[in-house]
Structure 1
Amino acid sequence: MPHTTTPLPSKTSIQLEDVESAAKPQRIKPTDYTDNNLNQDENKRLKDVEISVPVVYGTMAFYLGKKANELQSHKWTVYVRGPTNEDLGVVIKQVVFQLHPSFDNPIRVVESPPFELSECGWGEFEICISILFHDDVCDKHVDLFHLLKLYPDAESGPQSTKKPVVVETYNEIVFPDPSENFLARVLNHPAVYVPRLPAGFNLPAPVPSPNMNVKGKDDTKNHPLNHWFINFSEADELLKLASARQQVQDHILKLRRQLSMLDGPPQPSKLAYGMISECT
């Protein structure tokens, strides 16, 4: 499982903010990410355009059975993935997982898909997940919070070595006013929702981001844990709703522009006419 354990950038703040929602997925916008060495995006920004990236984050824990001991009763994996396991490397630069302080090197940085790490332990704790993006995507980051769960609920029956405990959350990360390079690169990518662009709109040729994963866009489809992942069948419906919402917003914007052209310049009020008459 490829991942590195390089230190977290000194000015990255991991905010323990719970963004889970049992009622409906949340649309998350990246928060400030401050680093003096970060290259600011100088690409042209596209106003009134919004890109949405669906993500699933969670944990999967396997009971070790006869191999279990007081310190290692479960093997678990924490991850960030696409709803149907698409490769998110086209958008995500690295994911930082902050584990319990009792682990050696509790801050782990994963710099290529699949964005995950595995460990063994005996206790449940809160994991903070920070998602950082390529420079032409966003100079901010997203902080997520997830509770590692090792033991099944009572109604699920006793723990088993054959069936893992899986806890996942579906959300959408929203990028308003994206750069042209970002939009061009993800225009036909299955992991990203891109709104319909106006007729005749031309984008520059896609430019790969530095350090972006060079593997094929579907190289995470055959993940060994794939058959245990939760099937977020609503994801397609949510994307259709997002598409419809974007189309409505685009239509409203178009109508406003047409109305402003029909109305012409503002006309003087009657009071203004009266003042002009008195002066003449």
Structure 2
Amino acid sequence: MTADRINLHILNLTVTLRCNLRCRLCVADVSKYKPQPHFELDYLRDCIDKCFSIVDYADRFQLSGGEPFLHHDLDKVITKAMTKSDQFGFLGLFTNGTIMPPQELIDQILEYNSAEKFMFYISDYGVHSPKAQELKSILDEAGLPYDIKDYSGEAQHFGGWVDYGDYQFQNRTTLETAKVFNDCAVNQVGGIWACRFGQIHRCTRSASGISLGLTPNDTSDYIDLFDNSLTVGQQREKMMALYAKPYISCCGYCSGDFGSETADRYPAGEQIG
């Protein structure tokens, strides 16, 4: 990010928080939402337009959930996203390996992938992801790229998941909170900006914490895409100011383990109840 360009590493758009798994330690906190929000097509189209009126470029634009394949208009969301393809390196689609996409969706993506603009991200939780290997075979046959993370056995990808904590205030000093922010793996990989509920946040935890009422609603911690009192130029200025903050409020409610080499790791995809 520079004085006149907003270039992001990853920009993530949540298309639904509905999910057919109930994973403990889910970073999207889907099990905490009752009911789980599902975002309609027109709203998602507006979010995409507004995001890329503010953001100049993202190396990766992601569609995630929940489980995106549960969205009945996912093909139309992808069509809308691809109208902005000159503003991102490629489009990523996440899935937990529980549902097979319709052949029509595969055919649609094949058309877009001629310019190497698409990537599937598959999380394989073993018995909880009964379609993961079938999807892998379909993508191999179609020649579509994918990244599959194996969480099915003892040797899990990256040792498993970390526990971010349950949004309890950590009572750290300002310097300690800034260190948590600087050491966070989200920053180490160049930043993963999250768009949810019409807001762009520095991370998914910030979006979850504020929307669930578990962390302070500090309006300087996010960009409200639907705040019509601000011009696009003012929204861009606010986003640059957010980028420059030494930490955000949710850092004070995070375990700080994400990015720590000594943090305990837990089996990924472990189901609740």
Fold match by TM threshold 0.5: no
* TM-score where L is the length of structure 2: 0.23
- Between Structure 1 and Structure 2, whose CA radius of gyration is higher? 1
After TM superposition, the score normalised by the length of structure 1 is: 0.23
Structure with larger RCO (C-alpha < 8 A, sep 6+): 1
Larger strand percent = 1
